[in-house]
Amino acid sequence: MKLPYRRLDVFTERPLAGNPLAVVLDADGLDSARMQAIAREFNLSETVFVLRARDPVNTARLRIFTPAVELPFAGHPTIGAAVLIAFERARDMLGQTPIRLVLEEEIGPVVCEVARVKGALRAQFVVPRLPEVFAETLDVSRLAAALGLLADDIGFDAHQPVIASAGLPFAFIPVASRAVLNRAQLDLAALTAALPMERPAACLYTRETEDVANHVQARVFVSGLGAHEDPATGSAAAAFAAVAAKFEHPEDGDHTLQIEQGFAMKRPSLLTVSMRVEERTLTQVAVGGASVIVGEGFLRL
């Protein structure tokens, strides 16, 4: 069997930044065990497999695997796969007018738009499950110890640690400055003990940014590969909309957040979160960013 694949860097406009992604095309002949083995072979945070859509009105079906498990949904695989599918199938149409795709993921259909903006290929998807905050009584002292920080390093303004999810849960931990953010060193065992989560994942964030036009800088740590730091995490960005809504109390209307991530890893990434608020309630969230195709090849299986 010979299967084509592409390598992309996601949430960036330039190669060798953002979050790396492998996308395997024409994957209908693969079973789950084979997909998992291929994801282990690539050994990236996620590998996407593109299959024919179950419903012919949709664009394609995606299955997303880490080296260890299959995920029902993830942000940077959705962005990267949407850009690649649009480029492969309709590159001559990629102008300022977005191309609409519907990608079937395990969480459900995900509506995406792809366009070429100032030369960059950009995608945006509407989050299929509205994010929510569902835990607000986290122990700051235990979290600080798990991160190699002081309790006074955690929190700013009204922001305090919470757990939020748009399909994948993250502990969102506000820290006082970029210096604190960069100083954090994760003890995964201690974090696991401090959080009421089956697979602990933490997003540390601060208001201090590299570019003053952006809103927060973040670092995201996920379990499953040890204390793995992720350079760009769309599912965390989606969930962050609920955190921003809780602590910032945005007025009714449309709002945009720009999140920097990956700077401590020298893989700078930029994630755009669009929020719609109606009657003080979050009613829609979308996540967007650019992707760059950096390589291609074939799997010989």
Helix (H, G, I), strand (E, B) or coil at 210: coil
Among residues 46, 104, 105, 260, the one annotated as catalytic is 46
The string of DSSP letters for 47-104 reads: EEEEE--SSTTSSEEEEEE-SS-EES--HHHHHHHHHHHHHHHHGGG-SSSPEEEEEE
What are the respective helix, strand and coil percentages of the chain, to the nearest 5?
Answer: 25, 40, 35
Active site residue 208: no
Q: Give Rg (Cα) of the chain.
A: 19
Q: Which of 139, 83, 89 is CA-nearest to residue 113? A: 83
**Which residues have C-beta within 8 Å of that of residue 193, sequence separation ≥ 6?**
142, 146
How far apart are the C-alpha atoms of 45 and 235, rounded to whole Å? 13
Can you read off the two tokens belonging to residue 10? 């996601």
Kindly tell me the sign of the dihedral angle through the C-alpha atoms of 77, 92, 111, 251. positive
The full 3-state SS of 5-18, as one line of letters, equals EEEEEECCCCCCCC
Residues taking part in catalysis: 46
